[in-house]
Amino acid sequence: MEPENKAEPKKVVFSAIQPSGTITLGNYLGALKNWIALQDRYDCIYALADLHTITVRQDPAAFRRNTLEAYALLLACGIDPRKSLFFIQSHVPTHAQLAWILDCYTQFGELQRMTQFKDKSAKHPDNVNAGLFTYPSLMAADILLYQTDLVPVGVDQKQHLELTRNIAERFNGIYGPVFRIPDALIPEKGAKIMSLQDPAKKMSKSDSNVNASVAVLDRPDDIMRKFRRAVTDSEACVRYAPGKNGINNLMGIYSCVTGETMAQIEADFAGKGYGAFKAAVGEAVAEHLRPIQERYADYIKNRDYLEQCWNESGQKAFSISVRTLRKVMKKVGFLPPRRR
């Protein structure tokens, strides 16, 4: 009798998002929607990266509120605690502990080259702190603690993942195979949603122009207004082509929420102007976000359930991550404490 074929273990996916304010349509379509789709194929570990958030000074009350609301909203978007771990980063102390060790295996020049450090230093010249500089080492710790196989990243985040791989390879080269080397998982579409007012740059919650971004919790009227005011071009033809950044962005958004291809969108709106298309995109986005907003309204009223979810996930995340941390500390040569 032949032995039964054991199913191969699922690959581990890790990703995190900061709870630093409004979650935009760009965050949702560029990352969160993909997170949801991954849950049935992989062992997914997701986190609210609140430790990363304090590289920029936060108002404590607003910070706590943003974290609570972001947790409820991500559950509403479709993260399922029965399928995935979804915890708050600061609740799992192994992240900060491994980050310090990895700081000592990360070169100054590597951190100096990080684009995000340069950008945030320019935005906050009065607070260029050490945490902002060593941020990528904490990100590497987030990923490497869970022996991650795949990290969903946008094209503009590949630099941080490459540094994570370099740190892991350097550590493994000294001490042997401690860390799994993670690969990038880049979605085929919706990887980069652009500003509605300046489609040459990414949609951002920090944009000073209120019409540049759509929040997941925006009211339908506000969504429609922002899409009607979206920047396009003078051709007035719904056609995906190089140089048509504004209309390309709107078509990408419409494709993400409806599932239609670019060719189908072009056929549907042949002979119609940008006004009709903008209205259709706004209506499609508002309808797509409606059930998320309804679920969020239920979750945010149920603090006990939210605490249960993040506590259970945090405990499981700690039990997984501490195995990696202990192995790292043993390899480096730390004297182990007595186990309680």
- For residue 213, is it within any domain? no
* 120 and 77 part of one domain: yes
* 186 and 240 part of one domain: no
* 54 and 109 part of one domain: yes
Tell me what pLDDT residue 188 has: 63
- For residue 196, is it within any domain? no
- Of 81, 80, 98, 191, whose CA–CA distance to 143 is shortest? 98
- For residue 340, is it within any domain? no
| Residue type at 188 in one-letter notation | E
Q: Which residues are bridge partners to 44 per DSSP?
A: 13
Calculate ∠ Cα 157-313-190, nearest 5°.
Answer: 30
Residues tagged active-site: 120, 202, 205
Tell me what pLDDT residue 234 has: 86
Whether the Cβ atoms of residue 262 and residue 206 lie closer than 8 Å to each other: no
- For residue 5, is it within any domain? no
Tell me what pLDDT residue 1 has: 45
CATH number of the domain enclosing 225: 1.10.240.10
Distance CA 236, CA 159 (A): 37
* 103 and 234 part of one domain: no
Distance CA 290, CA 219 (A): 9
Tell me what pLDDT residue 318 has: 98
- What is the distance between the terminal CA atoms of the chain, rounded to a whole angstrom? 47
Which sign does the torsion angle of CA 123, 73, 31, 209 carry?
negative
- Strands (E) across 251-329 are located at none
- For residue 115, is it within any domain? yes
- For residue 279, is it within any domain? yes
Token digits of residue 294: 């309804």
> How do strand 150-152 and strand 85-88 relate by DSSP bridges?
unpaired
CATH number of the domain enclosing 80: 3.40.50.620
Domain that holds residue 266: 220-298
CB count in 10 Å sphere of residue 188: 6
Q: Which residues of the chain have pLDDT under 70?
A: 1-7, 155-156, 188-191, 340
Tell me what pLDDT residue 340 has: 64
- Rounded to 5 degrees, what are φ and ψ at 15? -155, 160
**Total domains, the chain:** 2
| Residue type at 90 in one-letter notation | S
Whether the Cβ atoms of residue 192 and residue 154 lie closer than 8 Å to each other: yes
* 151 and 65 part of one domain: yes
Q: Does the pTM exceed 0.85? A: yes
* 280 and 322 part of one domain: no
* 274 and 327 part of one domain: no
